[in-house]
Every structure is written in structure tokens, then in C-alpha cells.
Chains A and B, each alone.
Chain A
Amino acid sequence: KADEAAHDEL
């Protein structure tokens, strides 16, 4: 992923 944020999409 582009950043380390969690997968916020469903």
C-alpha cells in the first residue's frame, strides 16, 4: 500500500 495505514476500504 502507498502508506502504512490500515486497509480502510471494504
Chain B
Amino acid sequence: MNIFRLAGDVSHLVAILILLMKIWRSKSCAGISGRSQVLFALVFTTRYLDLFTVYISAYNTVMKVVFLALSYATVYLIYMRFRNSYDSENDTFRVEFLLIPVIGLSFLENYAFTPLEILWTFSIFLESVAIMPQLFMITKTGEAESITTHYLFFLGLYRALYIANWVWRYHTEGFYDQIAIVSGVVQTIFYCDFFYLYVTRGEEIRTPS
């Protein structure tokens, strides 16, 4: 554990909590892509199956359970509790265009051809593209509420901090995880355009039409 990793995890948690609190308090999920949130729930589910097989640390276990619970709570709020406010007309990104290549890649490129390793790899690849339905929705409607942009900022910051963590770990422990690093860099690149808008235009984002 190093400061970049810890800051990354905190940033990830903050992002998820911002989104959940926004939906809970406003009793609305307008402008939020339910499809992205389902993909993130799938990411956590397939990655954290090792909860049942290996014990790493109390921190690791608690965080995994928290991320799983929060991601399912978010999906529940969008599709059940506040489904009347769900903007399904603008949440139209075809997720099979992400899922099919990601499933294929996780079978081709993995650390071991075992169910758990393939699912872990699948989750890493899927996470890198899971935000695309949300970004697509913002492009389609041409706007995002400021609280939604804070969510995206912390979500992007999380993987960027993990890159610093990987550099740190390589230098101090000689540890590197090629699949996670490549996917993490790809994931962060997807946020660069958004980071630029966030910084230059302020919180509320309107894309040029």
C-alpha cells in the first residue's frame, strides 16, 4: 500500500458515493447512464469473486464488499426505486459492442486459462470502457449536471492515481501487472477529453452542438 494507491481507492469511493448521494437526495437519476452502472456492477462482480478463494487483508475484503454493495445499490436506485426519472431514451449505447470484444479479449489475453483469471481479466478490460455509455449519453444530450461531472472527475482521477501507484510499485517492489497497467492507461485516456472540459469550462458541461 502506498499513498497513490490509497488516494486512488479513496477517489474511487468518493466517486461512487457522489453518484449514489446525488440520486438519493434528488430522488432522480436524470442524466445518469443506467447501462454504465450495470457494467460497473458487472465489473465488481466478476473481479471480486476471489473474496471466496483468497484472503488478502481486512482492508481489501472490506473495500471489495463496499464497492459491490454500493454498485448494486446504485443500479437498484436507477432501475427500481427512481426508474420514473431514468432517461432511457438517451441511454442507448449498444453495450454488446463493448461486451463482445471484451469477452473475446479476456479469453485471448490472460494470466491463466482458468475461470477466475478469465473473469478477472474480463473485469479489468470491461472497466476500461464501462464509462462509454455515460460519456455517449452526455454527448447525445449535450449537457451534464455539475454533480455528474464531479462523479466523472473522481472516477477518472482514481485510475490516473493507480498509474502513479504502478510506477511506484515497479520501482519499489519490482511488481507490475501488465494487463492492469495497459487497461488502466487506456481507461484514463478516455477521461482526458472530459478532464480538459472539466478544468476549462467549469463544472457544468455543455458540449458544442
CA distance A3 to B92 in the complex (A): 41
Contact in complex: B5, A9 (CB < 8 Å) = yes
- Considering only CB atoms, which chain A residue lies closest to B8 in the complex? A10
Interface readout for A1-10 with B: 1 if CB under 8 Å, 0 if not? 1110011111
- Considering only CB atoms, which chain A residue lies closest to B48 in the complex? A10
CA distance A9 to B176 in the complex (A): 11
Interface centre among B9, B12, B47, B175 (most CB of A within 10 A): B175
**Could you say which of B17-25, B56-64, B101-109, B189-197 contacts chain A?**
B56-64
Contact in complex: B176, A2 (CB < 8 Å) = yes
Interface readout for B169-184 with A: 1 if CB under 8 Å, 0 if not? 0000011111110000
B contacts, CB < 8 Å to A = 5, 9, 12, 47, 50, 54, 56-57, 60, 63-64, 67, 111, 120, 162, 165, 174-180
Jot down 28 A-B pairs with beta carbons below 8 A, ordered by A: A1-B111, A1-B177, A1-B178, A1-B179, A2-B174, A2-B175, A2-B176, A2-B177, A2-B178, A3-B175, A6-B50, A6-B54, A6-B56, A7-B50, A7-B120, A7-B177, A8-B56, A8-B57, A8-B60, A9-B162, A9-B165, A9-B177, A10-B9, A10-B12, A10-B60, A10-B63, A10-B64, A10-B67
